[in-house]
Chains A and B, each alone.
Chain A
Amino acid sequence: AQSVSQHNHHVILSEAASLELGCNYSYGGTVNLFWYVQYPGQHLQLLLKYFSGDPLVKGIKGFEAEFIKSKFSFNLRKPSVQWSDTAEYFCAVTSNRDDKIIFGKGTRLHILP
């Protein structure tokens, strides 16, 4: 079955620490990959996406993600986090086989000031 796994459910970091959030997917065919962020009290916003080309994708607010096809992974990274990065992060996948976007369960990131 198609699925997206986010291994870290809750991450706590201090400001300036480096961040890596794991995402693995199980999906046949050509995939598009996304990271969305939901800040407290706000709606889902697109951080970055991969659909083809350079597997290292740069998004907003200093985030980047790397698509590693052999590992079925699309991990999110940021070299130095800020308190304002406190939010919930969702990895998501779409396929050329159907309309649906499949979300991971989310990772709650808490940055200590």
Chain B
Amino acid sequence: GAVVSQHPSWVICKSGTSVKIECRSLDFQATTMFWYRQFPKQSLMLMATSNEGSKATYEQGVEKDKFLINHASLTLSTLTVTSAHPEDSSFYICSARDGGDGTDTQYFGPGTRLTVL
């Protein structure tokens, strides 16, 4: 089955520093990847849609200069949280869309827990 990995699985950083999270589709090519935040006991909140080779599309209210997304290849997208603050602490999840079976199913990574001190 389609597998999506994320690295790191958890990270703790100081306020003001930047953190990069990687999302990889391991056994399929993903022209589109998505980044979400999940707050405790809540559903996923879409942050941005990342298309390979082009600029990401951000949802309303998401600061594109703070959450930098790069989708340099068909199997890798990165999310960089710049100048992180404690309110950025959250669970960040990526998904990759497998268009190969015609259903555009999204497969999710295991998530990255970010804690900003």
Contact = CB atoms under 8 A, between A and B. Distances in A.
Interface of A: 32, 34, 36, 42-46, 49, 51, 90, 94, 99-101, 103-106, 108
A43 B110 contact: yes
B105 A103 contact: no
**Chain B contact residues: helix, strand, loop or mixed:** strand
**Interface extent on B, as a size class?**
20 to 34
B44 A32 contact: no
Interface of B: 32, 34, 41-44, 46, 49, 93, 95, 97, 102-111
Nearest to A102: B46
Chief secondary structure at chain A's binding surface: strand
Contact of B108 (A36, A49, A108): A36
The 5 A-B residue pairs whose C-beta atoms are closest, nearest first, are A44-B108, A43-B110, A51-B103, A103-B43, A105-B43
A106 B49 CA distance: 22
Nearest to A103: B43
Given A43-B110, A43-B111, A44-B93, A90 B43 contact: yes
Given A44-B108, A51-B103, A99 B43 contact: no
